Amino acid sequence: MRPCRLAVLACAGLLAHAAVAIAQQPSFPTDDPVIRRIWEEGMERSQVYPLSQVLADSIGPRLVGSPGYDAAADWLIRTYGSWGIPARREAYGNWRGWERGTTHIDLLQPRVRTLEGTMLAWSPGTGRPVTAPVVLLPEFRSAADFQAWLPQAKGKYVLVTFPEPTCRPDEQWLDFTAGGARQMLAQRDSARQRWHGRIAATGLDERGLLHRLDSAGVAGILTSAWIGGYGTMRVLWANTERAPALALSCEDYGLLARLAANGQGPLVRVDARAKFLGERPAYNVIAELRGTELPDETVILSAHLDSWDAGSGATDNGTGTVIMAEAMRILKAVYPNPRRTIIAGHWGSEEQGLNGSRAFVADHPGLLDGIQAVFNQDNGTGRIARISAQGFIGAGEHLARWFSRIPDQLTAGIDLTFPGNPGGGGSDYASFVCAGIPAFGLGSASWDYFAYTWHTNRDTFDKVSIDDVRANAVLTAMLVYLAAEDPERVPRDRRIVASRRTGEPGSWPACSAPARSSTSRFF
């Protein structure tokens, strides 16, 4: 999307206007009036822009157990209610509550610079501004050397992850200095291996190292998880109980590491605020359109509502959330009395192991036999580009028949894989596939998802392609309608699974139990 230099409201209008372009002269393969009405409702009266903007900008990140997740759930239930769609919270456990406050990190010596960084999720705060020296984790000959050094770390900020030698994307090195790039990459790989050896010499793994530094009384732990794109850093969770754990940008982490390594005395002030809120309910948000002929059979729209919280959770998974909500709105408007029941599942705690959807499957054994199909979306803002039958032998016939009734403007270029292989994880479709339920991931085109927005500080509203999300919502609504009306059930016959590594016979993925509370597995 090109930069918009007009006023904010004018930009919104341009985005809405551009997104309608796809609606010009659709080619309908059949005379199905519901398909035509879905197109008209979704393309001409779309709510994708306001839904996305409120969710990403006004509500923002939705870490499980946080007030942000509660606010998103309340908003979603109210929004469904305004459309005449019943929606509810459905609890499945508890989670450690935490509220992020502000984070300010300033280099004071040998020069002044405000650093780019933030707390990791569930990190303790500083409670007040804390100024302390910065040290780089030294090289040790043995675990005994590490133990002997620990008292020197007390009261200091410790750099514990590998400092990247360059924060330029690899593609630039390869494009502009082919020979130099090969040398740089080789030197970086060697330096990274030496860093791993530095940690191994402590006698601890990375998590154990953080716990030991925490108990030794360090002022804080400084990390960086660069993923190859300009300005991006992955920000997940802390493994400390007392010391604040902070993620710094690749550039600023490297700055501190070089200053420390060269004896130039970096001094940093951190003011990081956070609140622990005790155990809080963990829950999904469920919306439902009750079926008229086959109410005990269901079609499920699936997307996780929770997110990590360094950005706004816009493409992971605000876009999936909006696609499913908008598809439900469209269906309520043009197909209010579905043949089968239609459920929208907005899952909690996907980011900690698909917990919300796994709990839904575990808690509704009577529902499982009647599920016709599940449509899940969870990988960014791009147009839907691939769908696999997930190893269900007979599902391809149904998918092909449904696609044959959808306008080419929505289906052109989508890679359909039959029979495909069952997905064992990665997103909430896996919670259903393992139970033998046809669940399909609506895979989006990349838009550099993994390099720039997946679990990063840059997952913000400006990265959303409104046009693509609008088209995805319309496509999803059509697929759900066709699945709900299909006179036949999607068969559940499974392919013989082979190991992708060896080619030897494998096994269908087994279902994992959901984590229903915060455990040492995460903290």
CA 338 to mean position of chain CA atoms: 31
489 Cβ partners below 8 Å, 6+ apart? 297, 372
Specify whether the CB–CB gap between 469 and 19 falls below 8 A.
Answer: no
Lowest mean pLDDT among 13-27, 306-320, 468-482: 13-27
CA dihedral 330, 336, 342, 348 (to 10 degrees): 50
Buried b (16+ CB within 10 A) or exposed e, 421-438: bbbeeebbbbbbbbbbbb
pLDDT for the residue numbered 249 = 98
Residue that finishes a domain, picked among 218, 235, 265: 265
How do residues 94-134 score in pLDDT, each as one tens digit? 999 999 999 999 999 999 999 999 999 999 999 999 999 99
Do 375 and 304 share a structural domain? yes
Q: What's the mean pLDDT in 438-462?
A: 96
- d(C-alpha 27, C-alpha 377), whole Å: 25
**What's the number of CA atoms in the CB half-sphere (13 Å) around residue 489?**
13
Do 232 and 290 share a structural domain? no
Residue 137 in domain:
yes
Residue 102 in domain:
no
- 296 phi and psi, to 5 degrees? -90, 0
3-class SS of residue 297: strand
3-class SS of residue 164: coil
Do 256 and 135 share a structural domain? yes
Do 142 and 74 share a structural domain? no
152 Cβ partners below 8 Å, 6+ apart? 135
Residue that finishes a domain, picked among 203, 232, 265: 265
- d(C-alpha 4, C-alpha 19), whole Å: 15
Do 368 and 230 share a structural domain? no
CA 47 to mean position of chain CA atoms: 22
Residue 494 in domain:
no
Do 48 and 26 share a structural domain? yes
Residue 315 in domain:
yes
Do 180 and 57 share a structural domain? no
- Domains held by the chain: number: 2
Domain range for 177 is 111-265
Residue that finishes a domain, picked among 232, 265, 298: 265
What value does the mean pLDDT of the chain take? 94
Query: In which band, very low, low, confident or very high, does the pLDDT at 180 lie, cut at 50, 70 and 90?
Result: confident
Do 400 and 345 share a structural domain? yes
Residue 219 in domain:
yes
49 Cβ partners below 8 Å, 6+ apart? 12, 15, 16, 19, 466
Specify whether the CB–CB gap between 440 and 373 falls below 8 A.
Answer: yes
Cα–Cα distance list, 73 to 306, 396, 430 (Å): 10, 35, 23
How do residues 501-510 score in pLDDT, each as one tens digit? 777 888 999 9
- d(C-alpha 97, C-alpha 66), whole Å: 6
Specify whether the CB–CB gap between 218 and 211 falls below 8 A.
Answer: no
Residue 500 in domain:
no
Residue 256 in domain:
yes
Do 476 and 435 share a structural domain? yes
pLDDT for the residue numbered 520 = 46
Do 72 and 166 share a structural domain? no
How do residues 47-96 score in pLDDT, each as one tens digit? 999 999 999 999 999 999 999 999 999 999 999 999 999 999 999 999 99
- d(C-alpha 382, C-alpha 174), whole Å: 27
Do 171 and 87 share a structural domain? no
- d(C-alpha 349, C-alpha 516), whole Å: 9
pTM over 0.75: yes
Do 313 and 429 share a structural domain? yes
pLDDT for the residue numbered 288 = 98
Nearest of 253, 271, 306, 297 to residue 64 by alpha carbon: 306
How do residues 328-386 score in pLDDT, each as one tens digit? 999 999 999 999 999 999 999 999 999 999 999 999 999 999 999 999 999 999 999 99
Q: Residue 347 belongs to a domain with what CATH number?
A: 3.40.630.10
Residue 309 in domain:
yes
- 104 phi and psi, to 5 degrees? -130, 125
What are the beta bridge partners of residue 167? Answer: none
Query: In which band, very low, low, confident or very high, does the pLDDT at 236 lie, cut at 50, 70 and 90?
Result: very high
Nearest of 268, 140, 261 to residue 200 by alpha carbon: 140
- d(C-alpha 365, C-alpha 354), whole Å: 18
How do residues 149-173 score in pLDDT, each as one tens digit? 999 999 999 999 999 999 999 999 9
Specify whether the CB–CB gap between 314 and 54 falls below 8 A.
Answer: no
- d(C-alpha 379, C-alpha 7), whole Å: 30
